[in-house]
């Protein structure tokens, strides 16, 4: 109950700041204090949001965007794991992938979107999401594999422990923390980059298309409403992800770490 009260207070505080910011902006610009179409008040945005909720296209676009981003994230994760595993096995492949990683890191998303726009219009946002998530998963899983205790590998070798048991008792417990860290960083990024790409190169039935249209029509109330939707979905997504990771990761976390977590909670 206390936690819910605290969260409500924090939300109300920031809504208050929002009101104040609109008020100051309107005064500064000499605009009406009761209605500002460029920087809308929270209640106008909430009304717009409820209006969006009543439309079927809102749900179709949101679900389509979610599915697209989820599929691309899964592809990027699988690709990242695969490349990390083979790169750790064959060093020359790691060298081979480096230029790709450097390119992804240094070239802005917008440039990729403009390049891909003409090549694979409908799949641009999916490809961008893969480009953003792949390097994070690859780098983390690769690091995890490289950090596997060589002494314990020798134990496996000396006792001829079968590969399946090695995976379960050595590889997974070492790599999983790196993998989870990669996923945690990727989720928010995948969402942001995917929607940004959709807005720049909007496929049918997408949140990006609505954001792009709202921008063209200078309908900032709708733009804010979509931004709020993105925040809400991202929060729900992160919450669900954390629960999922907690359940899946539990068996690889030593008991004393779990106990320490309990104490700190």
Partner 1 sequence: MKIRNLTKKFASKIIFDNATFEFIDGKITYITGKSGIGKTTLLRIIAGLDKAYTGEILGRSDKISYVFQEPRLFPNLTVSENISVTTDNSPYTVDMVLKLTELEKEKDALPSSLSGGMKMRIALARALYYNGDVFLMDEPFSALDDATKELILPKAFELLKDKTVIIVSHNIEEAKKYADTIIDINSPLNN
Q: Which positions touch partner 1 (CB under 8 A)?
A: 151-152, 154-155, 157-161, 165, 169-170, 173, 252, 254-256
Please say which residue, 15 or 161, places its beta carbon nearer to partner 1.
161
Q: What is the spatial distance between Cα 199 and Cα 212, in angstroms, rounded to a whole number?
A: 5
User: Which DSSP string corresponds to 147-181?
Assistant: TS-HHHHHHHHHTT--HHHHIIIIIHHHHHHHHHH
In whole angstroms, the minimum distance from the beta carbon of 171 to partner 1 comes to 11
In whole angstroms, the minimum distance from the beta carbon of 149 to partner 1 comes to 8
Q: What is the spatial distance between Cα 112 and Cα 252, in angstroms, rounded to a whole number?
A: 38
C-beta of residue 221 within 8 angstroms of C-beta of residue 210: no
In whole angstroms, the minimum distance from the beta carbon of 151 to partner 1 comes to 5
Please say which residue, 176 or 200, places its beta carbon nearer to partner 1.
176
In whole angstroms, the minimum distance from the beta carbon of 144 to partner 1 comes to 14
C-beta of residue 90 within 8 angstroms of C-beta of residue 167: no
* Lookup: tokens for 164: 């399946």
Nearest to 94 by CA among 132, 138, 129, 158: 138
Please say which residue, 51 or 260, places its beta carbon nearer to partner 1.
260
Please say which residue, 98 or 157, places its beta carbon nearer to partner 1.
157
Please say which residue, 42 or 173, places its beta carbon nearer to partner 1.
173
Tokens 């009260």 -> residue:
5
Q: What is the spatial distance between Cα 88 and Cα 99, in angstroms, rounded to a whole number?
A: 17
Please say which residue, 169 or 212, places its beta carbon nearer to partner 1.
169
In whole angstroms, the minimum distance from the beta carbon of 169 to partner 1 comes to 5
In whole angstroms, the minimum distance from the beta carbon of 249 to partner 1 comes to 12
- CA 111 to chain CA mean position, Å: 20
């Amino acid at each position: 109950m206390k936690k819910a009260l605290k969260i409500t207070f924090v939300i109300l505080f920031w809504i208050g700041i929002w009101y104040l910011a609109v008020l100051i902006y309107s005064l500064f610009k000499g605009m009406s204090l009761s209605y500002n179409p460029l920087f809308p008040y929270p209640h106008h945005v909430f009304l717009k949001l409820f209006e969006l909720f009543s439309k079927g296209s809102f749900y179709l676009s949101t679900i389509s965007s979610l599915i697209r981003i989820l599929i691309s994230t899964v592809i990027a994760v699988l690709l990242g794991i695969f490349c990390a595993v083979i790169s750790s096995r064959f060093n020359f492949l790691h060298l081979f992938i480096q230029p790709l990683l450097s390119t992804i890191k240094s070239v802005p998303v917008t440039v990729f979107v403009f390049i891909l726009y003409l090549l694979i219009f409908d799949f641009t946002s999916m490809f961008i999401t893969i480009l953003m998530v792949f390097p994070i998963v690859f780098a983390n899983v690769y690091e995890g594999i490289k950090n596997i205790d060589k002494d314990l590998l020798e134990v496996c070798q000396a006792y001829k422990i079968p590969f399946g048991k090695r995976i379960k008792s050595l590889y997974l417990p070492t790599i999983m923390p790196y993998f989870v860290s990669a996923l945690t960083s990727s989720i928010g990024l995948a969402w942001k980059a995917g929607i940004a790409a959709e807005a720049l190169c909007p496929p049918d039935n997408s949140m990006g298309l609505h954001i792009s249209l709202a921008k063209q029509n200078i309908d900032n109330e709708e733009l804010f409403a979509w931004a709020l939707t993105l925040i809400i979905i991202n929060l729900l997504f992160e919450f669900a992800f954390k629960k999922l990771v907690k359940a899946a990761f539990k068996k690889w976390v030593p008991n004393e770490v779990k106990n320490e977590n309990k104490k700190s909670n």
